[in-house]
């Protein structure tokens, strides 16, 4: 049994979803681990990780619009140091989550056919985001 | 230290929650592992995993009704290839989550007294769903 | 490769967020494990775990107010055995999540600068909550 760790960086262009499934697959392949557990952890409170369909672009547009409806900008927030998108970004991170654990089988994450792994940027401005990856297995 | 892996299948009857706590307990018991970490991962983007109270049936009915309010069907979605329940199903999966990690102690998942583990089916039609299980420990 | 386990208890004062990042750091440090995977699991269905900004107190107030808007008390619930805060507490737990996995590097959880780990109490009355911790690594 052994482990591998790496921190990857993703440059976002402001609000939106950046798929990084390929980088997870490359990390697992490079480790030489066949069977195990992969964890991805987003080191931020205004960006998050999620899994959604990676085929239809409309899914991402609908998901973005829904997040705006559930956690809208507006006059309701006490915390707005960094602008009107600041507090809604924290809410969207809590809603969608910070960490993903995915079993690894036959040298790859055991994702379903339509599952893609995405970094969700919730701030309006571009940001540089770090994701800590960890893999344990053999 | 060693690991065990298995993919289980659950046939759903359309929208609703299917408890599979027993199958997790059986998987852990069959592995012979006493202490470790159990992960369950749902390989779909319109079904999800969640933990909720497993005693009162009303909790599941209220939870189902709330999910309909938070992510309702309606004219707001661009993505509707597979019908009006398609995009709301993706939203409910993002909201509730795809993966659960549960410590294992004394040969069983360390769940609280009232905690049940459920597959949440978000599509109207019955589906066959796969959950990848992974256990690491000794 | 080895593991460490512990169940910690947090006394809550009713609805609110109790940070326990320090206790996670102490648990990791006491284990002597340098690199690995830390998991925290909340053993309840009306309390949850989440990561959010730990600097500005306003973030927690806005987060609490938002949770009340998304899962409000009201006449809509069938399940109200333990009062009007009962079912909303279950909804907030599902929304925010029960388990967190965090990579460990250089003997500490690989949290970002502004990330704090919180127990979220969703019931109005004070409760005694158990969190199962698990660490695997070397």
Looking at the partner chain, which of C1, C50, C110 has a beta carbon nearest the beta carbon of A43? Answer: C110
Task: Go through the domains of chain C in sequence order and give each one's CATH number.
Answer: 2-137 (2.60.120.460)
Residue A66, burial from CB neighbour count under 10 angstroms (0-12, 13-18, 19+): buried
User: Measured between alpha carbons, how far is A37 from A35 in angstroms, rounded to an integer?
Assistant: 7
Q: CB within 8 A of B74, min separation 6: which ones?
A: B84
pLDDT per residue, tens digit, chain A (138 aa), is 999 999 999 999 999 999 999 999 999 999 999 999 999 999 999 999 999 999 889 999 999 999 999 999 987 899 988 899 999 999 999 999 999 999 999 999 999 999 999 999 999 999 999 999 999 999
Residues of B with CB below 8 A from C39's CB? 37, 101, 103
- pLDDT level of residue B66 (50, 70, 90 thresholds): very high
Average pLDDT of the residues in B35-58: 96
> Which residues lie below 8 Å from residue B126, measured CB to CB, with a gap of 6+?
B11, B12, B13, B14
C136 SS3 class: strand
pLDDT at A64: 97
Report the C-alpha gap between B1 and A136 in whole angstroms.
11
* C16 secondary structure, DSSP code: E
C58 - beta bridge partners? none
CB B39 within 8 A of CB A103: yes
Which residues of chain C are within 8 Å of residue B94 when distances are taken between CB atoms? none
**Average pLDDT value for residue range C56-64:** 95
pLDDT-above-90 percentage for chain C: 93
* Optimal mutation site among C66, C72, C95, C96, interface A, most CBs of chain A within 10 A: C66
From start to end of A43-127, where are the E strands? Answer: 47-53, 99-105, 108-109, 115-121
End-to-end CA, chain A: 5
pLDDT band at B64 (very low <50, low <70, confident <90, very high): very high
Beta bridge partners of B118: B19, B50
The pTM of the full predicted model, rounded to 2 decimals, is 0.98
């Amino acid at each position: 049994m052994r482990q591998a760790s790496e921190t990857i960086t993703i440059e976002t262009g402001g609000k939106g979803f950046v798929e990084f499934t390929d980088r997870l697959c490359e990390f697992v392949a490079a480790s030489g681990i066949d069977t195990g557990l992969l964890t991805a952890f987003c080191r931020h409170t205004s960006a998050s990780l999620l899994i959604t369909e990676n085929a239809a672009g409309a899914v991402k547009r609908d998901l973005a619009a829904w997040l705006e409806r559930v956690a809208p900008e507006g006059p309701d927030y006490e915390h707005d140091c960094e602008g009107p998108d600041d507090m809604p970004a924290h809410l969207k991170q809590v809603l969608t989550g910070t960490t993903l654990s995915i079993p690894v089988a036959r040298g790859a994450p055991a994702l379903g056919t339509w599952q893609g792994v995405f970094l969700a940027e919730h701030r309006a401005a571009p940001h540089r985001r770090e994701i800590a990856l960890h893999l344990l297995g053999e």
